Structures are given as C-alpha cells and as structure tokens.
Amino acid sequence: MERALIDFHTHPLLVQEMVAGNDELLHAQKKVFDIQNRLQPLETFHLELDVSGLQRAVVLPLDARTAKGSQIFSNEQIAELCRLSDRFVGFASVDPHRPDAAEQLERDVTRLGLRGLKLSPSLQEFAANDRDKAYPVYEAAQSLRIPLLIHAGMTWAPRSKSANPMDLEDVAFDFPDLKIVIAHFGWPWVQETAMLCLKYDNVFADTSCLYHDAPWEFMRHVFTERLPLTLLERSLRHKVVFGSDYPRVEIKNMVRAVKELGLSDQAQEMIFSKNARHLLGEAEATYK
Ligand SMILES: [Zn+2]
C-alpha cells in the first residue's frame, strides 16, 4: 500500500519552482485559470498530500494555445516537475486545433514518460466528439494505452455547452479501448455521468465536483441527494476515482468529504487507490 493512495486530479499551478519568474505561466495562471493564490514551495504540495493521507498526485497541464494563446504547463514542464518529485504522475495535454496534435501526443508520451492525456473542451474550445479535431488525438491515446481525463460539467470558461458529458458518449462508443475519466463527475450533469459510467466499461469519473462551498456538504448533496449513495456503493465503486482539483480546493477537505459519505472500506479502497492504479496500468481492473 506504500504508494497506493492517489489524487487523480490536481493542477500544479502554485508550485513556485515551476511558475516563479516565468511571466507567461504567471499570466496564464491568473487570467486563463483564474487562480489568484500565492505561489508555494513544492514542499507545500507534499505536505498537502501528507496531511490528506495520500501518497501520489496526478499533475495536469493544459495546452490551450489556439483558444487562449497559452499553455500551462507544457508537457516538458510537467516532465520536469515529475523529475523533482517521484510523488507526481504526469499527464500530457495537446491542442486539438493543431494538425500535429496526435503526433505530438505520441512523441511526448513516449519520450517524456507521461502517463495520461488531459483535455478541456470548454477551455480549449472544441467539441469533445469532433471527428476531425479530437478523434485523431483519442486514436493516439487509445493506441498508447493511456487514460483520458477530460473536463466536463460546470466551467468558468464561457462555453459550458461543450462541457456536457453526453458529448462523450460518441467517444466512449467509438473508442472502446480508451479509458475516459469524466472530471468533476460532470456536475451538474451528474445523472448523465452516472449513466455513462454504468453503460460503458471504458467510462469512469472523478470526485472533484464543482462548485464547492463546503466540500462535505456538496459531496453529500451530489452522492446522497442527486444520486443515491447505494448507486456509488454497489454499481459505480469500480468506476470512480478520488480527485480534488487542488489548488481550487484543499486536498484534505475533499478527502474528508468523500470519507464522510459513509461508503464501505472496500468501496473507499477502490476510489482512493485501486481504480486509479487500474487506469494507470499498475493494477488489474476491479469489479463491483
Ligand atoms: Zn481541474
């Protein structure tokens, strides 16, 4: 169990060692991602994980060069961060508007050792089921056997409609060997997200539901009022991974919120560990 507990959704936006002194990143952090907090030394990220009882975190970049004129971070920068800390699992991102996006993904995953793909249709301004722009990228991810973590649900970007998880049904159907993780449990489309997770073997979701006022209240609302908790416990426990969306939310508060739902130990072990390790190719699939 040494390195087993994983936060599957974090953004290393505040890591001083990465961002300080880089005007382009500082600008993107504030203007594109709307993160106004102060930068913190890398050690703070480690302490966040420690106090939350987690060992590792997936760190996510986003390549929005066409839509926003910026990327935060580049795939090289994510690989550099992973060299600073073996507690990070680096994902890649590519810009689906660029004709070489699929080749770039293949190249970067292979040469930099990145282990997943992050996309955000709303921030990158593409439709998740766009056959010309997005499908070649999915094809590449599927043959690289890396999971796709894709933003869905509420977004602070202007185009919420491109964050509707129902657009992912085409993708789930057309790429049966691509593991798709619907970020933020697709909130407010949580029933649609649950349906896709039930229906397609290759669809998963993370717990980083937006918007949080108090994480535990919101988590309770989503998983006991909008959806019955028994659905998560009995039918979806092998399809959900813990994700915090740090630094928008403190990891420890999200961990507490999920733990306080009252799921069985077995379901919690799947959500905090086994399912993420399965998606990363470190463990066999777990079944309900
Ligand atoms: Zn996020």
Name the residues around ion ligand 1, CB cutoff 5 A.
Answer: 245
Residues 227-274 have pLDDT tens digits of 999 999 999 999 999 999 999 899 999 999 999 999 999 999 999 999
Calculate how far, in angstroms, residue 243's C-alpha sits from the geometric centre of ligand 1.
9
Phi-psi region of 284 (alpha: psi -120 to 50; beta: other; left: phi over 0): beta
Q: What is the pLDDT of residues 77-105, one digit of tens each?
A: 999 999 999 999 999 999 999 999 999 99
CA of 10 from ligand 1 middle (Å) equals: 6
The Å distance, Cα 43 to ligand 1 centre, comes to 21
Residue 213 has pLDDT above 80, yes or no: no
Residue 38, pLDDT score: 85
CATH class of the domain comprising 6-279: alpha beta
Distance 61 CA to ligand 1 centre (A): 10
Q: Is pLDDT above 90 for 12? A: yes
pLDDT attached to residue 32: 77
Q: What's the confidence (pLDDT) of residue 286?
A: 65
pLDDT of residue 155: 80
The predicted model scores a pTM of: 0.95
pLDDT in tens, 115-165: 999 999 999 999 999 999 999 999 999 999 999 999 999 887 777 778 999
For 181-232, the DSSP string reads EEGGGGTT-HHHHHHHHHH-TTEEEES-PSP-SSHHHHHHIIIIIIS-HHII
How far is the centre of ligand 1, averaged over its atoms, from the C-alpha of 209 (Å)?
10
Rounded to the nearest whole angstrom, what is the distance from the C-alpha of residue 183 to the centroid of ligand 1? Answer: 7
- Minimum mean pLDDT range among 182-186, 217-221, 275-279: 217-221
Residue 235 Cα to ligand 1 middle (Å): 25
DSSP state of 40: B
Ligand 1 geometric centre to CA of 22 (Å): 21
Query: What is the Å distance from ligand 1's center to 9 Cα?
Result: 6
The domain segmentation of the chain, as residue ranges, is: 6-279
CA-based torsion, 200, 204, 210, 212: positive or negative: positive
In angstroms, the CA 288 to CA 264 distance is 12
Mean pLDDT of the chain: 93
Residue 2, pLDDT > 70, answer: no
Q: Using CA atoms, how far apart are residues 193 and 226, in angstroms rounded to an integer?
A: 12
32-59 pLDDT per residue, tens: 777 778 899 999 999 999 999 999 999 9
Q: What is the pLDDT of residue 24?
A: 86
231 CA distance to ligand 1 middle (Å): 24
The whole-number pLDDT of residue 1 equals 45
Q: Any idea which of 65-69, 130-134, 166-170, 232-236 has the lowest mean pLDDT?
A: 65-69
**Which of 164, 171, 170 is closest to 186 using CA atoms?**
164
Cα 161 versus chain centre, distance: 19
User: What local confidence, expressed as pLDDT, does residue 21 receive?
Assistant: 84
At 212, is the pLDDT very low, low, confident or very high (cuts 50, 70, 90)?
Answer: low
